[in-house]
Structure 1
Amino acid sequence: MAGDNEKRRAAARCDDCGSIGLVRIWSNGRIEPVGGRDICDCADPDLRILGGERIDDQQ
């Protein structure tokens, strides 16, 4: 079982505008852009991990 401090990095794309960026995905489901900046300017980005995994909940 993964600990609360474990995370992985992935490339994600906003399905709304097409912007691509790096995100951290924490074992508790929290998602945050790498570098502290949002991937795009969309009000409610619809992010999908490149390779098919969808990110439904940005926390």
Structure 2
Amino acid sequence: MTTIGPWRKSSRSQGSGANCVELRLFGDQVQLRDSKLGTGSPTLTVSAAEFSSLKNLIQAP
């Protein structure tokens, strides 16, 4: 059975909530989607290692 977590977005996103990428845990993977589209948004599913690499790349100075 795959454990699916709730959708989360950055605490740094603006109050309107319409300008952020959301993510959730999907078993041993991470799913990403566009918050503007909500449940109708296509999702990108990556491994935890791929997500970690992406996060490190985005946060690099």
Question: Would you tell me which structure has more helix in proportion to its own residues?
Answer: 2
TM-score under structure 1 length normalisation? 0.31
* Length-normalised TM-score, structure 2: 0.31
Kindly indicate whether structure 1 or structure 2 has the higher relative contact order, using CA contacts under 8 Å at least 6 residues apart. Answer: 1
